[in-house]
Amino acid sequence: MKYYINGDKFGLTGRIDISEPDTPVLIWAGSYISFCFKGTGASLELENLQGWGYNCIGFVVDGEERVIKTEKGRSLVTLCGGLADKPHECYIYRANSGGCGYIKLHGLILEDGAQLLDPPKKPKKRIEFYGDSVTAGEVVDADEFTGLADPEGNIGQYDNSWHSYAMRVGRMLPAEVHNVSQGGIAILDGTGYFEMPKMIGMESCYDKLRYCSFDEKTPWSFSRFRPHVIVFAIGQNDHNPNPDCIYDKVNYRRKWEDRYISMITKIRHYSPDAVIVLALTVLNHDPAWDEAIAEIKDRMGGEKNGVYHLVYSRCGKATPGHPRNLEQQEMAKELTDFLNSLPKSTWR
């Protein structure tokens, strides 16, 4: 039997396009659908709205994970089969960044005799992440390259947002997570690597639902999600195309900080009580960017104003390539410990 993915039997988490309620579209990395069913198998009818690369979708069924590449156009994929006829907990998620393309879900098909059940309950804590490829979980599953540069020929086949530190924190805390991350993105338009050669920055994407140039851009309604904590982890790609720009305090650094602060302030307007956590990652980078992040924290009033700067124990010096699973877990553990140290009033 076919079920459209809407209504109270499905949980939607992340910036998901529901303008056509029967066919939700997964856009940002880590956005997911949760549901439960009693039966032996299920399939998913989906459509690959192709972007620029290797467009993947991930499944988790009773804790067992699988990521597959989606074919161009519309297709039917097996979610699970041969299961015991009992209740099962399932998740369908975007495995890589939206720049690879969006994924429209046309329906869930359960085998004869199966029954949809109530979805898993969402955690009460809510966190929103703004980040780049590390937060999106790019190249995370290339575990044989742990501590090394990224493998050659990488076109997205190692991406897995479910394994990013952001999504891990959601499961460890636990918390409902909105992951607003895109590989290669910087703060300022015209910098970073996203959509080269006409790069667009997070300043043009943070308030968008559909945000890529291969598609019509649409606004995000911040009323759909009010986080308790907002984590900003951008600065890794901002050195491009000028590697020494962060040292130019007159023409660049002040402007970069101003625009970062402006973006944070606009987002916080919708969740005025949210705690802000500023943090870069363990991927190698010039410590001058961490110094600039510290300046932003101070300019925003610091901890007295609910603005914190988390510096991971191996911040900027753990690996020349993207963090793999061990390093992502390392970040997740440190961030979870930090979040657990915040005042209990943070989560009210």
Residue type, 87: P
pLDDT of residue 51: 66
Mean pLDDT of 276-285: 98
How far, rounded to the nearest angstrom, does the alpha carbon of residue 304 sit from its chain's CA centroid?
28
Cβ-in-10-Å burial (0-12, 13-18, 19+) of 232 comes to: buried
pLDDT of 275 strictly over 90 = yes
Nearest in space to 308 (alpha carbons), one of 287, 262, 339, 269:
339
Question: pLDDT tens digits, residue range 58-116?
Answer: 999 999 999 999 988 899 999 999 999 999 999 999 999 999 899 999 999 999 899 99
pLDDT, average across residues 191-212: 97
Q: Which of 308, 10, 14 lies closest to 176 in space, CA to CA? A: 14
259 pLDDT above the threshold of 80: yes
According to the model, what pLDDT value does residue 179 have?
A: 98
Mean pLDDT of the chain: 96
Q: Is the pLDDT of residue 204 over 70?
A: yes
Structural domains present in the chain = 2-117 (2.60.120.260), 126-347 (3.40.50.1110)
- DSSP state, 305? G
E strand or H helix at 299: helix 288-299
pLDDT value for 50: 72
Beta-ladder partners of 250: none
- % of residues, the chain, pLDDT over 90: 94
* Residues 52 and 205: beta-carbon distance below 8 Å: no
Residues in the chain: 348
Is residue 266 within a helix (H) or strand (E), and if so which, with residue range?
Answer: helix 254-270
- Residue pLDDT, tens place only, 3-41: 999 999 999 999 999 999 999 999 999 999 999 999 999
